[in-house]
Copies of this chain bind each other. A is one copy, B any other.
């Protein structure tokens, strides 16, 4: 059945992810992707069809490898009372560690949302689902942490907590400490408010 590929697709997508995450879609050139992945142009186009095709694979891997692992404890059928606090502390820790892509670049999808790609229907759908999933996970965490809240207070707490996470991811590129402060505020809202 022909020659077998010489690269590991997951590795390639991860390398490409770093570049897109760092520079954004528009500012990333195909030669940058060649250099980062070690793949030749023709291989990239053979396996991913286009620069955009590789970006779509990167988005999938971002959701699978970056977003979901962190969110997993909040998406299980039985959520621990401390799961949300654990999630927030883990996020804060990553944001304060300047060696992580999260702290230097924020959220790949929120960044894309603010770029020209943010007006594209296909990506909008992905981002909408991402937001909905994140919000649902936070809601589960709030339910587990604060089961006594009435419906309105629950809703407010979820919105505020989710918003502070978005805010932290939007600003972490510019000011890590400010982002950490947003997460602190989220921790406070969950535990006290």
Contacts and interface: CB of A to CB of B under 8 A. Distances in A.
Interface residues of A, number: 42
B131 A159 contact: no
Contacts of A178: 131
Contact of A159 (B115, B173, B181): B181
B170 A185 contact: no
A116 to B, nearest CB: 4
A23 interface: yes
Given A23-B116, A127-B174, A160-B160, 14 more contacts: A27-B115, A110-B170, A113-B170, A113-B171, A113-B174, A114-B170, A118-B174, A128-B175, A131-B175, A160-B164, A162-B167, A164-B164, A166-B171, A169-B170
